[in-house]
Amino acid sequence: MSNAHGNRAEEPAIKEQRVTKQRIAVGAALDTIDDFVSTQELHRMMYDAGSRVSLATTYRIVQSMAEDGQVDVLRNAEGEAVYRRCAASTHHHHLLCRNCGKTVEIEAPAVEAWAASVAQDNGFTEVAHTVEIFGLCPECSAAKAAK
């Protein structure tokens, strides 16, 4: 949380320590998951494992981790935000199977160049973008073809 001046460093040490313990618990739970999960699913898994971080705190921490680039965030087929610990340390995009939810992290230099060009052509600065490509993974495509 930020204080009135927007400076996180000036928060009381006691609050920071509590948040750090909760953030560590959320991070540790995310480290055990390979697939994207909703915050509610993550909270349920943490609760089942004995963690007592509240759902509201889990939401806040996951959102903060997404803003800091520590987790990837996508929208599933229902439009719900789902999260996963980033496997790639650089800016990347995703291929997402709309059937089973499998994701593949991809780098797309052509997309980066296009986004920068469009932004520049329109006078935009400090731009960001997200690209998610939905389709069927090879396994789901094969299963569909076999029907």
pTM: 0.58
pLDDT number for residue 90: 67
pLDDT number for residue 9: 44
Do residues 89 and 71 touch, judged by C-beta distance below 8 A?
A: no
Checking if the pLDDT of 4 tops 80, the result is no
Tally of domains within the chain: 2
pLDDT number for residue 14: 35
pLDDT in tens, 90-137: 677 788 888 887 888 788 888 888 989 999 999 999 887 777 788 899
- 97, 74: one domain: no
pLDDT number for residue 20: 66
- 27, 51: one domain: yes
pLDDT number for residue 139: 94
- 18, 60: one domain: yes
pLDDT in tens, 83-96: 988 766 667 778 88
- 77, 116: one domain: no
CATH number of residue 67's parent domain: 1.10.10.10
Select from 55, 79, 83, 80 the least CA-distant residue to 69.
Answer: 83
pLDDT in tens, 5-52: 444 444 333 333 345 688 889 999 998 887 889 999 999 999 999 998
Structural domain that includes position 63: 1-86
pLDDT number for residue 15: 34
The length of the chain in residues reads 147
pLDDT number for residue 99: 85
Residue 37 DSSP class: B
Q: Is 100 helix (H, G, I), strand (E, B) or coil?
A: coil
Residue 84 DSSP class: E
* Four-CA torsion 81, 76, 30, 140, nearest 10 degrees: 180
- 8, 73: one domain: yes
Q: How far is CA 2 from the centre of its chain?
A: 22
